[in-house]
A and B are shown apart, each in its own frame.
Chain A
Amino acid sequence: MSSVNLTMAIVLGGLYATGFYLLLQRSLMRVLLGIVILGHGANLLLQQAGGAPAGRPPMLGEAPVQSMSDPLPQAMALTAIVITFALTTFLLALAYRAWQLLGHDEVQDDVEDRRIRRLESELSEGEAAENEQELDSEATR
């Protein structure tokens, strides 16, 4: 069991809150920034999981064990940082491609979902046949 100091707790809370707020936005770029900030929050949390830094490098025989920093969270955070970095790059490339293909960077709805939602009202109005064609052209395939 380890405890976190207050400043760190506030920073962590701020990072997670900002990240989730951005994640809920409609614009892809903001969603992406949200993921990045959340990733930072998670990495900082991993660092904190090892307890307060004791200061000495974790090398056997160099210092008493009690004053060594815990190396495991650092190794884990390093791995996580590399993974987050790679996936952020991928997301950036994907966002760029979305921009190229669609001309905007809004997160889009699923056409098929809307189609099924409308199905019921159409059936009751008896215009199913007409709207079917309209929806077919709307669906990309």
Chain B
Amino acid sequence: MSVLVAIPVLLPLGAAGLSMAFGRFADVQRWLGLLVLGVIVVDATVLLHIADTRAPLVLHLGGWAAPVGIALVADRLAALLLLVSVVVMFAVLLYSIGQRITDYGRGTSSTTFHPIYLVLCAGVSLAYLTGDLFNLFVAFEIMLAASYVLITRRTTANRVRAGMTYTIVSLSSSVLFLTLIGLVYSATGTVNLADLAAETEKLPRALSTALALLMVIVFGVKSAMVPLHFWLPDSYPNAPAPITAIFAALLTKVGIYAMIRTQILVFDRGPSWRLMLVLALATMLVGALGALAQNDLNRLLSFLLVSHIGFMLFGLGVYDVAGLTGVILYIVHHITVQAALFLVSGLVTRYTGTVALSRMGGLVRISPLVAVLFALPALSLAGVPPFSGFVAKLALLQSGVGVGTGWAYVAAAGAVLTSLLTLYAVARVWTRVFWGRTRLPEGDPDPTDELVVGTGDTSRAMVHATGMLVCVTVLVAVLAGPLAAVSERAAEDLISGEAYRTAVLEGGGIGG
């Protein structure tokens, strides 16, 4: 039974090697990728069902018991996020296969893309499922190493420049993470998350606070928290649309997930954490205001991504069951919506041949379908009812007001303001891109750069993949009731930490 937990990590890694071996056979690579991701979707569904109805699944690798050995744990939170992430990865893979076939024909193979994409999947899965701090580091490195290659593939001067910033910032934060692990180990003598929870209580208050803050910095860089966000709007827009979509949807969310997991499970904290509320407020406002100044569609979406990281930090700062329920709902909503928006942006740039908003217009007459596909996730991002963003934002605001401290009110007010600014930003995109005089696609100024194609050719696979993701965002709103119930149970697990600890340390989980 517990082997189910290892599948999302081991299967893509193995398949990546196989995919590399079949580099010359484009179709084999494509079907292999889709098949593997499909299997993981099914596996994640089963994991979520078992974790929700029975107990967390635990796999002790090599048979070594928890505090010493490596444990993979699938509790409600991990399984839920894994499921959403893999669904998005599946849709994005479909989109990028469609894009490849449209641009280069069916027979051409992109030897490196598929293996690296599968490695990225393994890294993301491991980050969700791992039960100790050092394997979290390994997961981040697997994920980031894959992302370095994806962001600098088909190198142009601009992509090398952006990739360099991204790589160096990520590597520096990884070194800091390693330092943190060293300090945690020398202070407590363990890196197992469940075990750490008991150990940090014995530490002097000052020391455990210092470790907690260092963790905020490390995961703050990964999740693009203001003031550590500067690398994101510079690097993400320079990658091709599907790659930006997958980065925006998953990499920052994994950072947030790691922050939630470590801060809540490991450290003992009083109600409502003021520092986190202030950081959340800054992140929301800086991101939203930054988005308003942009002329480049992808950069605008990247700034909105930064802004909405603030909402998740807000829920974490509130630090109670209601707040965490809001965060989990928000992560689920945001993973799907942000990926969908970047995929639509990829479709838009194919019709217009530019990423500059000032040179677009009248797209609604060329392709009404793209306009609809943009409108649904954009309204959801702004939190307009009845879309998924509204449900998640409402949960967060209720929790913020429920806490009732001064800073919680200020942050809640900031959240409302940010929602309005987001609405203004996407409305601006809408009027610039879809209304107005119709402009014909411009020729491609740099044919080696996949970012701007301007052919107007889109294949059914690309539109279907985007449509599928948009449907998922709508589905998140439709299923808001059961989803909120699962999120609430996951949040209760997080706050008490009891289920996680007994499952990992005392064999209370479903293992084997």
Which residues of A are in contact with B by a Cβ distance under 8 Å? Answer: 1-2, 19, 23, 28, 31, 35, 38-39, 41-43, 45-46, 48-51, 72-73, 76, 79-80, 83, 86-87, 90-91, 94-95, 97-98, 101-102, 107-108, 110, 112-113, 115-116, 119, 140-141
Q: Is the CB of B178 within 8 A of A46?
A: yes
Q: Is the CB of B164 within 8 A of A1?
A: no
Does residue B157 face the partner (Cβ distance < 8 Å to A)? yes
Give Cα distance in the complex from A90 to B166, angstroms: 13
Does residue B158 face the partner (Cβ distance < 8 Å to A)? yes
Instruction: Decide yes or no: A76 and B181 within 8 Å by CB, A28-B164, A83-B138, A98-B161 being known contacts.
Output: yes
- Chain A residues lying within 8 Å of B294, measured Cβ to Cβ, are 112, 116
Q: How near does chain A come to B71, taking the closest CB pair, in angstroms?
A: 14
Closest partner residue, chain A, to B137 (CB atom): A80
A contact patch SS: helix
Does residue B167 face the partner (Cβ distance < 8 Å to A)? yes
- Chain B residues lying within 8 Å of A94, measured Cβ to Cβ, are 148, 152, 160, 163-164, 167
Give Cα distance in the complex from A45 to B179, angstroms: 7
Give Cα distance in the complex from A23 to B163, angstroms: 16
Given A90-B148, A141-B451, 13 new contacts (CB under 8 A): A28-B164, A39-B178, A45-B178, A46-B185, A72-B68, A73-B185, A80-B137, A83-B141, A87-B171, A98-B160, A102-B161, A110-B161, A112-B296
Q: How near does chain B come to A3, taking the closest CB pair, in angstroms?
A: 9
Give Cα distance in the complex from A50 to B186, angstroms: 6
Q: How near does chain B come to A45, taking the closest CB pair, in angstroms?
A: 4
Which residues of B are in contact with A by a Cβ distance under 8 Å? Answer: 68, 134, 137-138, 141, 145, 148-149, 152, 155-158, 160-165, 167-168, 171-172, 175, 178-179, 181-183, 185-187, 191, 234, 293-296, 299, 354-355, 445-446, 449, 451-452
Closest partner residue, chain B, to A3 (CB atom): B186
Give Cα distance in the complex from A91 to B145, angstroms: 11
Q: Is the CB of B172 within 8 A of A35?
A: yes
Q: How near does chain A come to B86, taking the closest CB pair, in angstroms?
A: 24
Of the candidates B68, B145, B178, the one whose C-beta lies within 8 Å of that of A42 is B178
Of the candidates B138, B172, B185, B451, the one whose C-beta lies within 8 Å of that of A72 is B185
Q: Is the CB of B164 within 8 A of A140?
A: no
Q: How near does chain B come to A13, taking the closest CB pair, in angstroms?
A: 12
Q: How near does chain A come to B148, taking the closest CB pair, in angstroms?
A: 6
- Chain B residues lying within 8 Å of A28, measured Cβ to Cβ, are 164
In the complex, how many residue pairs between chain A and chain B have their CB atoms under 8 Å apart? 120
Instruction: Decide yes or no: A113 and B234 within 8 Å by CB, A72-B185, A98-B164, A141-B445 being known contacts.
Output: yes
- Chain B residues lying within 8 Å of A76, measured Cβ to Cβ, are 134, 181, 185, 191
21 sample A-B contacts, Cβ–Cβ < 8 Å, listed by A number: A1-B186, A28-B164, A42-B178, A42-B179, A49-B182, A49-B185, A49-B186, A51-B186, A72-B185, A73-B185, A80-B178, A83-B138, A83-B141, A97-B155, A97-B160, A101-B156, A101-B157, A102-B157, A112-B296, A113-B234, A116-B295
Of the candidates A49, A72, A79, A91, the one whose C-beta lies within 8 Å of that of B167 is A91
Give Cα distance in the complex from A97 to B164, angstroms: 11
- Chain B residues lying within 8 Å of A46, measured Cβ to Cβ, are 178, 181-182, 185
The 7 closest A-B pairs by CB, nearest first: A49-B186, A45-B182, A42-B178, A49-B185, A49-B182, A140-B158, A46-B182
Q: How near does chain B come to A9, taking the closest CB pair, in angstroms?
A: 12
Instruction: Decide yes or no: A87 and B145 within 8 Å by CB, A31-B168, A102-B157 being known contacts.
Output: yes
- Chain A residues lying within 8 Å of B171, measured Cβ to Cβ, are 35, 87, 91
Q: How near does chain B come to A38, taking the closest CB pair, in angstroms?
A: 5
Interface centre among A19, A95, A110 (most CB of B within 10 A): A110
Give Cα distance in the complex from A50 to B181, angstroms: 11
- Chain A residues lying within 8 Å of B156, measured Cβ to Cβ, are 101, 140
Of the candidates A73, A80, A87, A112, the one whose C-beta lies within 8 Å of that of B299 is A112
- Chain B residues lying within 8 Å of A108, measured Cβ to Cβ, are 161
Give Cα distance in the complex from A3 to B149, angstroms: 40
- Chain B residues lying within 8 Å of A72, measured Cβ to Cβ, are 68, 185, 191
Give Cα distance in the complex from A141 to B447, angstroms: 11
- Chain B residues lying within 8 Å of A95, measured Cβ to Cβ, are 164
Interface centre among B134, B164, B175, B354 (most CB of A within 10 A): B175
- Chain A residues lying within 8 Å of B445, measured Cβ to Cβ, are 141
- Chain A residues lying within 8 Å of B178, measured Cβ to Cβ, are 39, 42-43, 45-46, 80
- Chain A residues lying within 8 Å of B145, measured Cβ to Cβ, are 83, 86-87, 90
Q: Is the CB of A141 within 8 A of B449?
A: yes
- Chain A residues lying within 8 Å of B155, measured Cβ to Cβ, are 97, 101
Give Cα distance in the complex from A28 to B161, angstroms: 11
Give Cα distance in the complex from A94 to B459, angstroms: 33
Q: Is the CB of B175 within 8 A of A38?
A: yes
Instruction: Decide yes or no: A23 and B185 within 8 Å by CB, A101-B160, A108-B161 being known contacts.
Output: no
Instruction: Decide yes or no: A90 and B167 within 8 Å by CB, A113-B234, A141-B449 being known contacts.
Output: yes
Q: Is the CB of A141 within 8 A of B158?
A: yes
Closest partner residue, chain A, to B149 (CB atom): A90
- Chain A residues lying within 8 Å of B168, measured Cβ to Cβ, are 23, 31, 35, 91, 107
- Chain B residues lying within 8 Å of A90, measured Cβ to Cβ, are 145, 148-149, 167
- Chain B residues lying within 8 Å of A101, measured Cβ to Cβ, are 155-157, 160
Q: Is the CB of B452 within 8 A of A141?
A: yes
Q: Is the CB of B293 within 8 A of A48?
A: no
Give Cα distance in the complex from A43 to B141, angstroms: 15
Instruction: Decide yes or no: A50 and B185 within 8 Å by CB, A76-B134, A97-B160 being known contacts.
Output: yes
Give Cα distance in the complex from A99 to B408, angstroms: 50
Of the candidates B165, B187, B446, the one whose C-beta lies within 8 Å of that of A1 is B187
- Chain A residues lying within 8 Å of B191, measured Cβ to Cβ, are 72, 76
Of the candidates B160, B161, B186, B295, the one whose C-beta lies within 8 Å of that of A48 is B186
Closest partner residue, chain A, to B355 (CB atom): A141
Give Cα distance in the complex from A72 to B148, angstroms: 29
